[in-house]
A and B are shown apart, each in its own frame.
Chain A
Amino acid sequence: MTGARLLIDFAGSDPVAGLLAAQIGADGTLQTVTASHMFGPQDTVWFCSQNGFFDAVDRCQSTGATVNVIVRRAAKSPARHHPLQYDLLKTLVAKVSGFSLRLFALGEAAATEIRASGLECEPLVYPQGGGAQTFGRAEFNAGQSRFRLLSENRDSVLDFDAINWARLARDYRLSAVQEDPPDLIDMAEFANRLPAKQPADRSDFLFVTPNGVGLGHLTRQLAIAKELQNASPDPDQVKIAFWCFSRAATIIQRAGYSVFLRHNADHLGADTPPWQQWETQAFAHHLRHSRPTAVIADGSRIEPFIVDAMKQPGCHHARLFWIRRGMWRADADDRSLADVRFCDRVLIPGDLASAADPGATARSNPHPAGLSSLVTTAPVVLSKPDDRLTRRAARRALGIGIGRGKTCLVSLGGEAFARTSIIHDKLIEAARKARVRLIWAQSPMAARPSVDNDNEERVSLYPVTPYLAAFDGVVAATGYNTFHELMLQCTCPVLFVPTTNERLDDQAARARFASEQGWAEILEHETGEEEEAKLDAFFQQLRQSQPVSRPALRRDGAIEMATEILNATTARGTS
């Protein structure tokens, strides 16, 4: 025997389900009706429309459940077939048995019309509603099924089915006109009178970490998570968790955060549609019961399961943040930029090479902004200057001795060995000639080297930045994090070996920019240039031990992002 359950039955994208949950689902017992649910006397089942009830009435019979049906007015004008629905409902009301049935309307006007058709119903309006502090106005455009969002500095559009309306109603007053279909008018009235949100007694942040090529997404998120905790007067009241698809989840655990380790369709060998549905349900369940104040996703798109889950009833509490770095390759598909419409904020980590950004994110977004506003911060790096070890301490920690010889770190990212085997021998040969000792940084995600050479010295470190003082030079890939940590926290010579295997990140543009600025050397080994000469020149420079001048930055992107997130999540709105 299960306990009392509060169930909402709804179809696909009916906005009333989300609004209803915002009104009734305060006690955490809320569930959505699924195929496996058999109703029982302990259940209270809400149907968001008479049609939902029609579709399931046979399953309600003789269950003893409490069944509440929201009777909806016509969703189209003119309402040719709507009286038929009332007639059918009347007939059914007289026939059903074995459960308790109550009818509701979304507002006073709806209740009046429905009663006039001979059905007893009561308006479903929160008595003390209307407390939401609104940021703007959301005007219906029924013909195009979308909103026009208007505020002091915004004029955008948002499709009706883009987000959970309870999220929208938190910041916007829904505005219908008399010519709108009656159901839209009713939904506006209902949404505008949702109960005001109570201030949360704790902050709960959920990071969604994709399974990227390297550790870029995860590293940025860890940097921000750290600052979210630092920014809180009482770190114990900050709960941070990671919904993590990355194979480097242990790094997050070691940093002290909760991890929900997830598997994507590729990991499972599953087809995408059923996986998507499964992941959506799991994420929605988590959102409904954990009620994070913010969902913070880092990636080149907002994963559909996040969008779909946040549309579900009871999943409206969180604000959605999208950390989206720039420097997309010029030929990269830019359709995912449309995902901004689902977000409350799009947070752009600054890029020192942004002047050379060739990609879609550097141009004006052709897609409507929807709810979102865009904030660009300083570059986000995980390691702080205070974290840096002295040369002696670093070398001791790495176990590489404190000799006078020159040492160079080779850090070529998550797929380092696989990607660089072409230049592997050339690099070793050039170092040997220059009498430079190579230390290979092995990423926690790296595959085993294709050339298994016991003579190679490897260290597996995360993050590597605090140990940079141990080295006289660095050969590295040009991912966002490596690039910024080296450029902002290291003065030794750096040779960038950008990869073009990345689907989206234009590493080559970033490296070229650094080269043009005199911050680093570049070896574009895939272009067939004179690699030996370049390597020789780099190791000669390394041997000279001359510090290289690089940009200095006082701002901290991670702190700026944490501040943005905290400011946005502490604003009042509807629940």
Chain B
Amino acid sequence: MNSDFGTLRTRIVRLCADGAFVEAFLALEDAEIESQAAVSLWEYLERQMSRVGETKLASTVRARLATAGVYTEKMAIADAEAALEHEDFHRASLILRSAFGALDLPKDAARAMARALNGLANPDALVHLTELAHAEPDMAIMEIDLLRAEDALISAQDKSAEYAALFPTDDRFLVRGARIAASLNQWDVALDQWKKLQERGSFPRSTTLGNQVRLLWRLERKDAAMDTLSEFLLAGPALTELIPVTYTLGLGDLLDEALAKAVQRNPVTPVPDQDWDAIAQYLLDIGRLGHVAWLSQAGIPIGSTAQLALQAASRLLGNRALEIGSLPSAARLSSPDCLLPFALFQRHARPVPLPPKSQMSVMLVNASLVSGGAERQFGMMVKALLLQGLRPDQIDVALFSLSEDRGRSHFLRDLEELGVQIHDLENVPNSFLRMPSELEDRCALLPKPLRADVAALYKLLEHKRPDVLHGWQDRASLACGFLGAHLGIGQIVLSARNMQPSRRDRGLQQDDRALFSALCGLPNVKLVANSRAGARDYEDWLDRPVGDVGVMNNGLEIDRFTKIAQPAHNQVAKGRRVVNIVGVFRLAPNKRPELWLETVAKLQGRSQYDIRPRIAGVGPLSDIAQERAAALRLRDFHLEGGLVDPADIYRDADVVLLMSRVEGTPNVLLEAQALGIAVAGCDVGGVKEAILDDTEAAGLLLSEDITPEDAAAAIEDWLPQALNGSRAERMSFIANRFSVEALGALAMEYYGQSDGEGAQ
């Protein structure tokens, strides 16, 4: 026996040395030695096989050993790693849990467990990464990515910074940092990170530049964006990098040119298949269905997702629609336009009749609850409905995201206090509910944001089937309109934004005109804006008759303001009356903070009064505003972020000044006047309708394109009247026109619960 065993051992060692693992395996099998007796040989064989990557054979050997009751921790890790190789994360986690338990795993096991749980999108993976991440960059990256997946962006950002310092040569941490900062709307921070990466030189230059271009464009720094864009082009970007940049900037001709050239070149210098896959996916995501069909016709490997979308298109539109002669003609086939107009009641459900008010159910949908005027009004809308006698159980509120780290739950507590049911569409419980096949096909062709919103909303809407579906702002309106029309919701109200989307510079982003227009053509859909000017603007854009778009003014809780209203302070300093001019706005480009600062600077230079400026607000241009104020040598200037209480925001204001380029009905002007404060603003959107006029207490309307000099002159002329005008008159103006009660009454009309026509 011993001699046989020795011979066998020598043979096995020799065969392993020759790489003849199968023969070695068979030799052990043929020897008919019980596993228990030959454990050392089987273990040796397993180690050798694992060492050279014969994972499948090694796995079989381990199974033999396990059967024999010999299964070491090392083997468990090897088995788990083999499962991970095959992306069988569940099996890997089971093996590791069986061998090591759930906690305090040794390093190798913890690493494998973290990978397994990460693959299962299980946040418990973080537990196993705590120690590993500080020693191994791959584990650190995994930890950051897990935090991102959990939407714990601020923690992820902190970790990125921490690990970037710990692993200073690893670019991935800066990349993560940049991407997380962009997700948090910290665009300047993201920009800095990409610049750092560019300076390092170890990361692809075109990638860093492309990201910078997009951030600069968002920040409306066009000169810098152009400069960086030219560097980007000189760096020879890959098509996958170029296309998103052209889309962001609206350079559609360049997108087409680059695509056509890449297709021309492809037989000689092929774009990698996975890149074509990504490009086709991207084009599909931006609604360029014709481009995808054209690529497919040109024999480009567009990947399975795009292929499935083309099959859906073929079922819906017919094959002829997908025959694209040339790239310029591809532009004619875009989504969602190709799905329009809606076939009224032919294939879609007929709207159900509305029940009486006491039985009516309403679902309100908005993108999020960030700290903004539109979101505040969203909450006000819910209050207004309750004031109209609806019970909280009649109202459902759905939000596409309530991410705390992204600031999307700012008004959540206020809303919760109202007792209505709130649905976070990002975190709906898992349950399988498949759309009807035609709707599924239509959905597959939608541009990505709308596709994702429709998919997120579908299950809830199908489950609740509200009598009234109210979409708030363009994004939610489109999803509500599209889905509501298909599901036959009785009444669909779409609260548009303050101006037609085409007035905003959105690059090549989807033109929603055709979809809005098709929705307006449905009898159970009503589009409303929050000002007459906004309504007219949408009518022009959609080519609808005057009066077709309704008006639903903003609502204000008047009591809340009358309670804290203060008399004029009449403060005098060094013989001059002190005038506190306050700006309350987000520090974003469309609010024109620089124009505001320059106007006030000119006013300080010429006014008989002691002008003391203050801005209450936060935003991406905070730092720039501070720098600009310093450069203008503004006296007594304060920039205050994070104020939420109106008593703090408007505390000593004599005048509230708004210089926005874009506005609907600005809440800030309503609130200021509700407190009796004089207001001035540029004549954009619904500003004119929000300002008291024709009386001694009237506000000041400035022209849209006014210069700082002219604005300062006009304000100086108006200030005596503003300071002496009746505060009560302003308060009364707001109470009469912008109360929550008035808002609720209008809403009920649009919900079909009144005989009257919608207010125009």
Residues of A in contact with B (beta carbons under 8 Å apart): 11-13, 34-36, 49, 51-52, 54-59, 61, 75, 80-81, 84-85, 87-88, 91-92, 95-96, 145, 159-161, 271, 273-274, 277-278
* Minimum CB–CB distance for A128 against chain B, Å: 32
| A residues less than 8 Å from B230 (CB atoms) | 88, 91-92, 95
Would B229 and A88 count as touching, CB distance under 8 A? yes
The 6 lowest CB-CB distance pairs between A and B, nearest first, are A273-B299, A58-B236, A11-B260, A35-B265, A35-B268, A51-B257
Would B326 and A161 count as touching, CB distance under 8 A? yes
Instruction: Give Cα A75 to B263, complex, Å.
Output: 22
* Minimum CB–CB distance for B166 against chain A, Å: 36
Interface residue B267 (Cβ < 8 Å from any Cβ of A): yes
Given contacts A91-B230, A273-B298, A274-B267, contact A12 B251 (CB under 8 A): no
Instruction: Give Cα A95 to B235, complex, Å.
Output: 12
Interface residue B52 (Cβ < 8 Å from any Cβ of A): no
Among B229, B249, B261, B269, the one with the most A-chain Cβ atoms within 10 Å of its Cβ is B261
Interface residue B258 (Cβ < 8 Å from any Cβ of A): yes
Would A55 and B254 count as touching, CB distance under 8 A? yes
* Minimum CB–CB distance for A449 against chain B, Å: 40
- Which residues of B201-232 are within 8 A (CB) of A? 222, 226-227, 229-231
Instruction: Give Cα A36 to B299, complex, Å.
Output: 20
| A residues less than 8 Å from B263 (CB atoms) | 12
Report 21 cross-chain contacts, Cβ distance below 8 Å, ordered by A residue: A11-B264, A12-B260, A13-B328, A54-B233, A55-B257, A58-B233, A75-B253, A80-B250, A81-B250, A81-B251, A84-B250, A87-B222, A91-B229, A92-B233, A95-B231, A145-B328, A271-B299, A273-B298, A273-B299, A274-B299, A278-B267
Would B233 and A161 count as touching, CB distance under 8 A? no
Q: Could you say which of B250, B252, B264, B325 contacts A159, with CB atoms under 8 Å apart?
A: B325
Quick one: CB contact mask for B312-353 with A, threshold 8 Å, 1 for yes?
000000000000011111000000000000000000000000
* Minimum CB–CB distance for A44 against chain B, Å: 19
Would B299 and A13 count as touching, CB distance under 8 A? no
Would B250 and A57 count as touching, CB distance under 8 A? no
- Which residues of B139-164 are within 8 A (CB) of A? none
| A residues less than 8 Å from B261 (CB atoms) | 11, 52, 55-56
Quick one: CB contact mask for B238-258 with A, threshold 8 Å, 1 for yes?
000010000001111110111
Interface residue B234 (Cβ < 8 Å from any Cβ of A): yes
* Minimum CB–CB distance for A129 against chain B, Å: 26
| A residues less than 8 Å from B227 (CB atoms) | 91
Q: Could you say which of A12, A35, A52, A85 contacts B327, with CB atoms under 8 Å apart?
A: A12
Would A11 and B257 count as touching, CB distance under 8 A? yes
Given contacts A11-B260, A12-B260, contact A51 B253 (CB under 8 A): yes
Among B242, B264, B327, B329, the one with the most A-chain Cβ atoms within 10 Å of its Cβ is B264
| A residues less than 8 Å from B254 (CB atoms) | 51, 54-55, 85
Instruction: Give Cα A85 to B256, complex, Å.
Output: 14
Closest residue of chain A to B256, judged by CB? A11
* Minimum CB–CB distance for A1 against chain B, Å: 22
Quick one: CB contact mask for B152-191 with A, threshold 8 Å, 1 for yes?
0000000000000000000000000000000000000000
Among B227, B252, B328, the one with the most A-chain Cβ atoms within 10 Å of its Cβ is B328
Instruction: Give Cα A59 to B265, complex, Å.
Output: 14
- Other A-B contacts than A12-B263, A81-B250, A84-B249, 11 sampled, CB-CB below 8 A, are A11-B327, A34-B268, A49-B253, A51-B254, A54-B257, A55-B258, A58-B236, A88-B226, A88-B230, A161-B326, A161-B328
Closest residue of chain A to B265, judged by CB? A35
Instruction: Give Cα A231 to B236, complex, Å.
Output: 57
Would A277 and B267 count as touching, CB distance under 8 A? yes
Quick one: CB contact mask for B255-288 with A, threshold 8 Å, 1 for yes?
0111011011101110000000000000000000
Instruction: Give Cα A52 to B259, complex, Å.
Output: 11
Q: How big is chain B's contact interface, by range?
A: 35 or more
| A residues less than 8 Å from B269 (CB atoms) | 35
Given contacts A51-B257, A52-B257, A92-B233, contact A161 B325 (CB under 8 A): yes
Instruction: Give Cα A56 to B226, complex, Å.
Output: 17
* Minimum CB–CB distance for B424 against chain A, Å: 37
Would A95 and B299 count as touching, CB distance under 8 A? no
* Minimum CB–CB distance for B242 against chain A, Å: 8
| A residues less than 8 Å from B327 (CB atoms) | 11-13
Instruction: Give Cα A458 to B230, complex, Å.
Output: 74
Would B252 and A81 count as touching, CB distance under 8 A? yes
| B residues less than 8 Å from A75 (CB atoms) | 253
Instruction: Give Cα A541 to B242, complex, Å.
Output: 79
Would B253 and A161 count as touching, CB distance under 8 A? no
Instruction: Give Cα A49 to B253, complex, Å.
Output: 10
Among B234, B254, B257, B298, the one with the most A-chain Cβ atoms within 10 Å of its Cβ is B257
| A residues less than 8 Å from B250 (CB atoms) | 80-81, 84
| A residues less than 8 Å from B268 (CB atoms) | 34-36
Closest residue of chain B to A58, judged by CB? B236
Instruction: Give Cα A34 to B266, complex, Å.
Output: 10
| A residues less than 8 Å from B242 (CB atoms) | 55
| A residues less than 8 Å from B328 (CB atoms) | 12-13, 145, 160-161
Instruction: Give Cα A13 to B328, complex, Å.
Output: 8
Among A75, A91, A92, A277, the one with the most B-chain Cβ atoms within 10 Å of its Cβ is A91
* Minimum CB–CB distance for A91 against chain B, Å: 4
Quick one: CB contact mask for B290-306 with A, threshold 8 Å, 1 for yes?
00000000110000000
Instruction: Give Cα A376 to B229, complex, Å.
Output: 59
Closest residue of chain B to A82, judged by CB? B253
* Minimum CB–CB distance for A541 against chain B, Å: 52
| B residues less than 8 Å from A95 (CB atoms) | 230-231, 234
| A residues less than 8 Å from B253 (CB atoms) | 49, 51, 75, 85
Would A57 and B325 count as touching, CB distance under 8 A? no
Instruction: Give Cα A91 to B325, complex, Å.
Output: 35
Instruction: Give Cα A345 to B230, complex, Å.
Output: 48
* Minimum CB–CB distance for A349 against chain B, Å: 30
Closest residue of chain A to B252, judged by CB? A81
Instruction: Give Cα A65 to B233, complex, Å.
Output: 18
Instruction: Give Cα A85 to B249, complex, Å.
Output: 10
| B residues less than 8 Å from A54 (CB atoms) | 233, 254, 257
Instruction: Give Cα A92 to B233, complex, Å.
Output: 9
- Which residues of B335-394 are within 8 A (CB) of A? none
Instruction: Give Cα A95 to B232, complex, Å.
Output: 12
* Minimum CB–CB distance for B562 against chain A, Å: 46
Closest residue of chain A to B231, judged by CB? A95
* Minimum CB–CB distance for A248 against chain B, Å: 31
Instruction: Give Cα A61 to B230, complex, Å.
Output: 13
Q: Could you say which of B251, B264, B265, B298 contacts A84, with CB atoms under 8 Å apart?
A: B251
Closest residue of chain B to A161, judged by CB? B326
Closest residue of chain A to B259, judged by CB? A11
| B residues less than 8 Å from A56 (CB atoms) | 261
| B residues less than 8 Å from A159 (CB atoms) | 325, 329
| A residues less than 8 Å from B299 (CB atoms) | 271, 273-274
Given contacts A84-B251, A277-B267, contact A57 B257 (CB under 8 A): no
| A residues less than 8 Å from B267 (CB atoms) | 274, 277-278
Instruction: Give Cα A128 to B226, complex, Å.
Output: 39
Among B222, B254, B327, the one with the most A-chain Cβ atoms within 10 Å of its Cβ is B254
Closest residue of chain A to B294, judged by CB? A12
* Minimum CB–CB distance for A233 against chain B, Å: 43
Would B226 and A91 count as touching, CB distance under 8 A? yes
* Minimum CB–CB distance for A33 against chain B, Å: 9
Instruction: Give Cα A514 to B340, complex, Å.
Output: 55
Instruction: Give Cα A277 to B264, complex, Å.
Output: 9
Instruction: Give Cα A51 to B254, complex, Å.
Output: 5
* Minimum CB–CB distance for A45 against chain B, Å: 14
* Minimum CB–CB distance for B528 against chain A, Å: 27
Instruction: Give Cα A96 to B235, complex, Å.
Output: 12
Instruction: Give Cα A208 to B78, complex, Å.
Output: 66
Closest residue of chain B to A48, judged by CB? B257
Instruction: Give Cα A58 to B261, complex, Å.
Output: 14
| A residues less than 8 Å from B231 (CB atoms) | 95
| B residues less than 8 Å from A12 (CB atoms) | 260, 263-264, 326-328
| A residues less than 8 Å from B222 (CB atoms) | 87
